[in-house]
Amino acid sequence: MIGIVGGIGAGKSRVASLLAEEGCFVVHSDVIAHEALLDPTVRAAVLAHFGEGVLDEHGEFDRSKLAERIFADASLRTTLESILHPWIETERRRRTAAMPPTCTAVVIDAPLLLEVGLDRECDAVLFVDAPEAVRRERVRRDRGWTAARFSVREAAQMSLDQKRARATNVIANAEDGPAAMLELRGAVRDFLARTIEMFESDRT
């Protein structure tokens, strides 16, 4: 089992996609969190704490409004996490148990992997590294984030030094473009091969 961590805009999803190409089964916690909000019980619990002001014109959750609330109030963030995380964890385990037997490894792409202790279940934790300037430009270009929004979100997460220290491996994703992607793909393959070799060695 492999966990992926890193700063905002570092390219964790990109690395997860490359691992999927190598035969890994990837669980994206952000995707599951979005599905959790569709569950009637979860929906009722969230609305009880946040009110209907976090819904869009169609009566669906507006994730940007939710994010604005929780990043402005740490207690609300804790409340939302306490509602979502049990549902996410149950679904993660269900999907992992049902994965095809041919999969090379399970990859968990979860923003709070370390905070919720999922790293204790991982055979390797991969830290995806990229300079802050690069990460800021990526989220500005790809997500339309302002500099202020980036700073608020980054400050709410565990520090990068802590994440790097708790990781077992580091992979650089400092550039974009075809050549950089080719280099990243090679680094991901090398990491996966070493991790599988270590895992098999530990089992014997």
DSSP secondary structure string, 86-147? HHHHHHHHHHHHTS-TT-S-EEEE-TTTTTTTGGGG-SEEEEEE--HHHHHHHHHHHH---H
Q: Is 197 exposed, middle or buried (0-12, 13-18, 19+ CB in 10 A)?
A: exposed
Q: H-helix or E-strand containing 162?
A: helix 160-166
Q: pLDDT 10s digit of each residue in the chain, 204 long?
A: 999 999 999 999 999 999 999 999 999 998 999 999 999 999 999 999 999 999 999 899 998 899 889 988 889 999 999 999 999 999 999 999 988 889 989 999 988 899 888 899 999 999 999 999 999 999 999 999 999 999 988 988 899 999 999 999 999 999 989 999 999 999 999 999 999 998 887 766
Choosing from 103, 130, 157, the residue where a domain stops is: 103
Type of residue found at 177: G
Residue with tokens 């060695």: 201
Q: Is 93 exposed, middle or buried (0-12, 13-18, 19+ CB in 10 A)?
A: exposed
Q: Are residues 1 and 49 in the same domain?
A: no
The total number of structural domains in the chain stands at 2
- Residue 123's domain comprises 1-24+105-199
Choosing from 103, 125, 155, the residue where a domain stops is: 103
In a domain, 172, yes or no: yes
Q: Are 133 and 174 in contact (CB under 8 A)?
A: no
Whole-model pTM: value is: 0.88
pLDDT of residue 41: 95
Q: Are residues 113 and 187 in the same domain?
A: yes
DSSP three-state, residue 25: strand
Q: Are 16 and 28 in contact (CB under 8 A)?
A: yes
pLDDT of residue 204: 62
Type of residue found at 16: A
